[in-house]
Amino acid sequence: MPHTHQKAWDRLAEQVVLELPRPMGATSTVIDPTYRLDPAEVFGRGAPLVVEIGSGSGDALVAGAQARPDWDFLAFEVWRPGIGHALAKMGETALPNVRVVEADAAVALQTLLAPGSVREVWTFFPDPWPKAKHHKRRIVTPDLVDAVVALLEPGGVWRLATDWDHYAEAMREVIGADDRLELVSTDRAPLRPVTRFERRGTEAGREITDLAYRLR
């Protein structure tokens, strides 16, 4: 990762990046499925919890945590340079309401958190895998829907955004097939900043789609 991001990692990772048990080795992105994370213990308080699936370089994560210091934010990201970038965005001091797990969220979220413990789930600009032969790699799948439904507290919200029309349609199809969730908004997510992915999409002439689903 770039030098400034590495310096931020060296300075802040111990406070922000969680070290969790990994049965397949320290470099694995798979968390021990028998391990249960206690957010109150991790953050040292009880507060509404936001889980971000794929925090990328941390634009939404850092902006959201700064805007809502009364909420806690738990991000999942497999791309270590992105985590370093997010840490650099924090400056010299770690945000006390942010923790990051270097792991595959689609797998970890099936077991890591207690059911009904999350206020919001964010999935902003996931890799669209535009080629048809790669659609199976997309993160928004029926299995992820099941995991998110289990995590959300009653009335909790899953917020998504993409700049690819065909992926937006696929999201609507996959999530809309589950009657436990209802589409409540297509407005921009309240805490979502303009990210570099959004700027790239807009510059390329693509329309941004926001979706918000609430647990019935």
Which tokens is 187 given? 């407005």
Catalytic residue status for 104: no
DSSP classification of residue 28 = -
Residue 138, classified by CB atoms within 10 Å of its CB into exposed (0-12), middle (13-18) or buried (19+), is middle
Task: Name the nearest CA neighbour of 181 among 144, 206, 207, 209.
Answer: 144
The one-letter amino acid code at 188 reads R
Catalytic residue among 59, 70, 72, 127: 127
- 190: CB partners within 8 A, 6+ apart: none
Cα separation, 1 vs 7, whole angstroms: 10
Cα separation, 2 vs 51, whole angstroms: 26
Residues with catalytic function: 127
